[in-house]
Amino acid sequence: MSVPINIPKLGVSMTEGTLIEWLVNDGEAVAEGDPIYIVETDKVENEVNATASGTIRISGEPGETYQVGEAIGSIE
């Protein structure tokens, strides 16, 4: 089963976030809780952890801005 990797809502007023950097490579195995990417809001940068274990499939591009909840990849 594939688990989407979404831009999280990190603050009450957050509506979008910029994907700064992937901390893993496409096709890499990750464990639940591993840091997988960094997202920047208008206030802070945050590491986001994997919500499941599996293989990363990346679709989001670093430097691009995404809406909260938008999928930027998946864990298979």
Q: Which domains does the chain have, with CATH numbers?
A: 3-75 (2.40.50.100)
Which tens digit of pLDDT belongs to each residue from 14-54? Answer: 999 999 999 999 999 999 999 999 999 988 899 999 999 99
Measured CA to CA, the distance from residue 52 to residue 7 in angstroms comes to 15
Collapsing DSSP to helix, strand or coil, 9 comes out as coil
d(CA 60, CA 50) in angstroms, rounded, equals 15
Can you give the three-state secondary structure of 2-36, one letter per residue?
Answer: CEEEECCCCCCCCCEEEEEEECCCCCCEECCCCEE
- Total-model pTM: 0.93
What's the pLDDT tens digit per position in 58-72? 999 999 999 999 999
Q: Please report which confidence band the pLDDT of residue 11 belongs to, taking 50, 70 and 90 as the band edges.
A: confident
